[in-house]
Amino acid sequence: MAEEEKKRFLEGNEMEHGEKQGRFSPPARASTPRYTPAAQNWQNNPVLPVISYCGSSILMTVANKYILSFPDYNLNFLLLAVQSIVCVVAIQSCKSAGIITYRDFKMDEAKKWFPISLLLIGMIYTSTKALRFLSIPVYTIFKNLTIILIAYGEVLWFGGSVSSMALFSFGLMVCSSVIAAWADITHALASAHGAAGTQELATLNAGYIWMLLNCLSTAAYVLGMRKRIKLTNFKDFDTMFYNNLLTIPILLAGSFITEDWSSLNLAKNFPPVARNAIIGAMIFTGLSSIFISYTSAWCVRATSSTTYSMVGALNKLPIAVSGLIFFDAPVTIPSVSAIFVGFVSGIVYALAKVRESSKPKTGILPTSNIPMSASAQSARDSLKA
């Protein structure tokens, strides 16, 4: 004990002497800057992440539609493969630069996550097919139907519940989809007659079928990912890395096997006039997935999860309007009404989720398992893994 006290005394004198000579610094006191306007702290500015998230979502949808709107483009698997390759290269470069971090590749984790990657391929492939045949407003409106499938999937798989307000929003979503389909078919019959009208209706029917498959595959992907994520406890960039890396060989194989790689077909898909623009858009859409992931996390960090859910609902309006501005989507009273009803349905659903999350918990120290939402159960399971 005496030796320890002597050692502490000598170390204290050395520290005091070091402070006098400048070799050690005393603990820094919290100092308040004289003037720090909130506008200068751009990372905590709530407006910038919201605008960035909305802008990245709109740009990705418009860029995908730009590529798929070329009448002779039919290399969907190649498009998705390029996007995945660009995404993997970009996030790996950011990891090497120390900007982001995620897990290294492990075969056992890849085996666990591989079924989710297959569901992802089904989701993104059917998405490109639906977006090719349908306009952006109709595609965005019908995408709302996926929320209904996911909600009732949560009820069956995770023991979730659907409130009356959420049920009302589901009714509005179905109503907006019916209005959008009616507006599409009415405009096709009015603008084309005979064989041209028949061809236009066939195109729309193909788009509706692909949209149905996309809603089913998207719901299967989201629900399957929530069920599987507890086995891996993946974070955002872990999920992005494994999803894109595991889909690359399958997408390339699908492209080489099912798509036409002849020089004539490549010339049709990449015409000299628009070749650089198409390739640039393909690369940009690959980077956009990273932008959306980062800006969504930034939006939650700078605002709140409640604000983020509202932004997600409000974001559908500018995406739908972008189709009216940048492409030849018909601007009619029914089509605008469908966009408005779909927009309202998104707001009502977001408010229903906010009200559900803000309900006070019964009891202070519960001694038995209480019912919880599917998202809470998923988070709890991921912590147990």
Output the pTM of the full model. 0.76
| Alpha-carbon torsion angle 270, 273, 274, 277, nearest 10 | 120
* DSSP letter assigned to residue 33: -
Token representation of residue 237:
């960039």
| Long-range pairs, 329-332, Cβ under 8 A, ≥24 | 329/135, 329/136, 329/137, 329/138, 330/135, 330/183, 330/184, 330/187, 330/191, 332/183, 332/186, 332/187
Q: What is the pLDDT of residue 342?
A: 87
pLDDT in tens, 370-381: 444 444 444 444
Q: Which domain holds residue 116?
A: 44-161+196-298
Which residue shows structure tokens 């998207």?
Answer: 218
- Asked whether residue 363 carries a pLDDT value surpassing 50, the answer given is no
d(CA 131, CA 148): 20
The verdict on residue 71 lying in a domain is yes
pLDDT in tens, 47-98: 787 788 788 888 888 899 999 999 889 999 999 999 999 999 999 999 999 8
The verdict on residue 21 lying in a domain is no
d(CA 172, CA 166): 10
The verdict on residue 214 lying in a domain is yes
pLDDT in tens, 276-335: 999 999 999 889 888 887 777 677 677 665 566 667 767 777 888 888 888 877 788 888
For the chain, the C-alpha Rg in angstroms (whole number) is 26
Highest mean pLDDT of the ranges 18-32, 101-115, 187-201, 341-355: 101-115
Determine which of 99-108, 132-141, 338-347, 371-380 has the lowest per-residue pLDDT on average.
371-380
The verdict on residue 39 lying in a domain is no
Q: What is the pLDDT of residue 324?
A: 82
The verdict on residue 311 lying in a domain is no
The verdict on residue 28 lying in a domain is no
Say how many domains are in the chain. 1
The verdict on residue 37 lying in a domain is no
The verdict on residue 14 lying in a domain is no
Q: How far is CA 370 from CA 88, 178, 352, 355, in A?
A: 41, 39, 20, 18
Q: How far is CA 156 from CA 116, 143, 153, 171, 219, in A?
A: 19, 21, 5, 20, 13
